[in-house]
């Protein structure tokens, strides 16, 4: 129940991050629409005219600010607190879409938003306090404890099996393969991002950690994990519908990150059983809210387009960004009104 | 966070109550179906053949056992804990309906169940411990404290305004009028049920409370409130669709009961802010789950019957039962397949 100053900072940063990431989708989408209206070619079809559109770049900058805030949040608060709050960016998007893009939010979508908020509040209230970390060596010793090494080894083995055995066989028919790879790698990304963030935080506080090879080792791990995660996330989104990938990815990624954090940072040590159960329930509620939001958005679309809704090819933008808000990025393509696309296509002929 | 022995007893009784009440709907519905199949006339249309059906009576007995368990639960645990758990009876019904009546549960319905459970767990974990009550006079002094008298007065004034001003004007067009009256009365019912239950509990423990006029006063209050509540609940269900009435009634009734309990029994005194907020969030989650369950059940129906689904007249059974699981009782009529109704109506001509 302890809500330390560091937890508060991390919480506010996570909120700011969700605000920026959520808003960035809307700004980018508005930019894409404008670019499409000006040139008549959509990003999903292969046009690059949006690169000349200032709004799209503003969206990119907003997203980068959001991702940086998210990165810094991990330096202050436990991953058990920061990661599930990523779901709030979906709410920001959904609400802004209603006001700025005039997209109607389904009533059940509102219920999904309410649940995400209620679940987040429960998570925030029960977030554990972190043991203060004083050096990068301390993080290293946490990362090399047997339990966490076992976790890392299991993740690597699983990822190898998925990449070399399952991906060629059923990667394009089973959504769990690519999504599983990027969720597994994602949990390691967050752990290494947290290690690096803490090292940088200590450096800014005057306790220079850049002198130690451990810090640079974490830079390398962050880069490797994030690149792999992004690569397989793009494969998943290339192959399957966003509405299918997003909730599955969110569930797996967040669950694995929490497990990794609990093992490495011993987040739940000294917590009461009630606290831990409340936190898990809060997490389940946020997951349910996320699923509901995605399901109803999809339902709205498919019912209004009478089944003509098809998965659109992903745009370059998907490859340009990174971080935990990423599971939504293709929405900017998919949520463009089908009628607008038809009109544009007719105009082209 | 304290989970006392009394809270545990109350919690188990509330669970048992939900199990029995949830099961009773299914048993009664099976009885109604059988009676309809035997006689060709449905209860909703005016047949009484179900009174000859043993299954229907078994359902009634199951429901009465559930209501008694619910009544006893209030004697042990705070209303803040017992009332929201009433939502679990919907889950029991939904799950049993799938296995026994072969009604398909919508995927979002499953999500609703998960949410109701997660929210209930959060509520149970954060339920306040009650101050031990030693005599009916103590309850009386609680009931006559200025804050609670103000609540009772406001309820009575509101009910009068609703009955004499709004009911004749828009009772048959606005669902909030009748539902509001029975929710307001319901909160007083629960408070008086709790007072009476505590008095009986003390009596069984050897501390006879039946000697005091206060106990008999509470008997009178219970009878008055429950009768008014049932009367207006039946009016609401007579006038509007169950799928509309149920979630609204559940939200208003549970919220008002919690407010009344917090005022009268000072449930939240000495509780930490985190505890109270968690409890409210748990409650919001259970509400959302309930709404989702009802909405999706309705959606399933309306989509498979292509809009031909109409509100059916309520049956006598609705008038025979009482208690907090009541908001579901008409489902047994509404959930009878529409085709069966059409067939029966055609047969009648």
Are residues B108 and A285, on separate chains, in Cβ contact within 8 Å? no
- Predicted pLDDT of residue A43: 56
Residues within 8 A of B (CB atoms), A 114-153 only: 114-115, 118-119, 121-122, 125-126
Q: pLDDT higher for A322 or B43? A: B43
ipTM of the predicted structure?
0.72
Q: Give the integer Cα–Cα distance in Å for A337 and A76.
A: 40
Q: Is B288 in Cβ contact with A115 (below 8 Å)? A: yes
Q: Do B292 and A119 touch (CB under 8 A)?
A: no
By C-alpha distance, the chain B residue nearest A125 is: B274
Helices A242-264 + A213-239 axis angle, to 10: 160
Selecting from B115, B121, B285 the residue whose C-beta is nearest the C-beta of A277 gives: B121
Please tell me which residue of chain B has the smallest CA distance to A127. B274
Chain A interface test: which of B81, B111, B299 (most A C-beta within 10 Å) = B111
Res B313 pLDDT > 50: no
What local confidence, expressed as pLDDT, does residue B145 receive? Answer: 92
The 8-class DSSP code of residue A4 comes to -
> A295 contacts in B (CB within 8 Å)?
107-108
The Cα-based distances of A113 to A84, A105, A283, A297, B285 in angstroms read 14, 10, 14, 12, 11
Whole-angstrom CA distances from A79 to A8, A281, A318, B118, B128 are 13, 16, 25, 21, 30
Report the pLDDT value the prediction gives residue B314, as an integer from 0 to 100. 28
Ranges of residues in chain A whose predicted pLDDT is under 50: 1, 299-349
Of all residues in chain B, the percent with pLDDT exceeding 90 is: 20
pLDDT at A232: 87
Q: Is the pLDDT confidence value at B17 over 90? A: yes
What's the pLDDT tens digit per position in A320-347? 233 333 333 334 444 433 333 333 333 3
Q: DSSP H helical segments within A77-135, as ranges? A: 79-85, 88-100, 107-125
Best residue in B84, B106, B114, B115 to probe A by mutation, most A CBs within 10 Å? B115
SS3 A103: coil
Give contacts of B288 with chain A, Cβ < 8 Å: 111, 114-115, 118
Record the tokens describing residue A177, joined without a space. 């393969």
Residue of A39, A65, A26, A76 lying closest to A329 (CA atoms): A26
Report the Cα–Cα distance between both ends of chain A, in Å, rounded: 63
Minimal C-alpha gap between B46 and chain A (Å): 36
Taking the C-alpha atoms of residue B272 and residue B275, their distance in angstroms, rounded to an integer, is 5
- What are the CA-CA distances from residue A246 to residues A16, A175, B327 (Å)? 21, 11, 36
Interchain CB contact of B277 with A (< 8 Å): yes
Confidence of residue B150 (pLDDT cuts 50, 70, 90): very high
pLDDT at residue B303 is higher than 60: no
pLDDT of residue A292: 85
B318: pLDDT strictly greater than 80: no
Question: In this predicted structure, what is the pLDDT of residue A41?
Answer: 62
What confidence score (pLDDT) does residue B44 get? Answer: 53
Q: Which of B125-129, B237-241, B300-304 has the highest mean pLDDT?
A: B125-129
pLDDT at A184: 94
Is there a contact between A122 and B292 if contact means CB atoms under 8 Å apart?
no
How high does pLDDT run on average in chain B? 78
Cα→Cα distances A13→A59, A73, B214, Å: 19, 5, 56
Decide if B274 and A122 are in contact by the 8 Å CB cutoff.
no
Q: Which residues of A are less than 8 Å from B291 in CB distance?
A: 111
């Amino acid at each position: 129940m302890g809500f330390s100053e560091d937890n508060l900072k991390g919480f506010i940063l996570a909120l700011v991050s969700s605000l920026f990431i959520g808003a960035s989708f809307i700004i980018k989408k508005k930019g894409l629409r404008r670019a499409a209206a000006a040139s008549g070619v959509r990003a999903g079809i292969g046009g690059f005219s949006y690169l000349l559109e200032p709004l799209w770049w503003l969206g990119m900058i907003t997203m980068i600010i959001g991702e940086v805030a998210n990165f810094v949040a991990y330096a202050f608060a436990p991953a058990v607190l920061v990661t599930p709050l990523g779901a709030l960016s979906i709410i920001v998007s959904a609400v802004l879409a209603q006001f700025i893009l005039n997209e109607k939010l389904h009533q059940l979508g509102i219920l999904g938003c309410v649940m995400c908020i209620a679940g987040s509040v429960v998570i925030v209230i029960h977030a554990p306090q972190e043991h203060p970390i004083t050096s990068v060596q301390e993080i290293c010793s946490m990362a090399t404890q047997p339990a966490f090494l076992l976790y890392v080894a299991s993740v690597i083995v699983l990822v190898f099996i998925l990449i070399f055995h399952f991906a060629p066989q059923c990667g394009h028919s089973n959504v769990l393969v690519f999504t599983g790879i990027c969720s597994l790698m994602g949990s390691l990304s967050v752990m290494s991002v947290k290690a690096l963030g803490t090292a940088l935080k200590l450096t800014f506080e005057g306790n220079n950690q850049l002198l130690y090879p451990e810090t640079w080792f974490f830079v390398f791990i962050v880069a490797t994990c994030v690149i792999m995660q992004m690569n397989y996330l793009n494969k998943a989104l290339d192959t399957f519908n966003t509405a299918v990938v997003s909730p599955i990815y969110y569930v797996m990624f967040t669950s694995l990150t929490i497990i990794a954090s609990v093992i490495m940072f011993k987040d739940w040590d000294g917590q009461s059983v009630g606290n831990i159960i409340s936190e898990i329930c809060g997490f389940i509620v946020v997951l349910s809210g996320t699923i509901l939001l995605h399901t109803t958005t999809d339902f709205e679309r498919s019912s209004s387009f009478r089944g003509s809704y098809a998965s659109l090819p992903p745009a370059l933008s998907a490859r340009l960004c990174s971080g935990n808000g990423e599971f939504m990025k293709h929405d900017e393509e998919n949520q463009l009104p089908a009628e607008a696309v038809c009109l544009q296509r007719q105009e082209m002929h």
